[in-house]
Amino acid sequence: MNLTISGHHLEVTPALREYVLTKLDRVTRHFDQVVDINVLLTVEKQKEKERRQKAEVNLHVKGRDIFVEQSHEDLYAAIDQLMDKLDRQVCRHKDRLHDHHHDSPKRNGATEAP
């Protein structure tokens, strides 16, 4: 698994990197076929203070790319909400991969003997 954590208009500190890694453990625990993860942490230069801190994740799994972004006034809260969204999408993707449709015995051609 390739992991890239980068910052735009901010320095990615070791504490931020460790926080993102601990949150990503929850996602990789649910789904282990993750190929590539790109995390981008951004501070936007807006006039208003709300939703300046933004976190984005582009997760490449076998067969699909999952992109999630979240903005908040606190970067750690944005990362928390981002990981919640990402976890839901990864679980939904995992459920779609499993075939939940089972053929009935009548359709398989197997008939009961009298």
**Residue 17 CB coordination number (10 Å):** 15
Which residues are 57's β-sheet partners?
39, 68
Angle at 6 between CA 14 and CA 12, to 5 degrees: 30
Separation between Cα atoms, residue 74 and residue 76, nearest integer Å: 6
pLDDT digits over 47-88, tens only? 666 668 999 999 998 888 999 999 998 999 999 999 999 999
C-alpha dihedral (13, 17, 22, 27), degrees to nearest 10: 150
Collect all residues with Cβ–Cβ distance below 8 Å to 3 and sequence separation of at least 6: 21, 24, 37, 39
pLDDT at 102: 63
Domains, the chain: 2-97 (3.30.160.100)
pLDDT digits over 11-57, tens only? 999 999 999 999 998 888 877 788 899 999 999 877 666 668 999 99
Contact 51, 72 (CB under 8 A): yes
β-pairing, 34-43 vs 53-61, is antiparallel
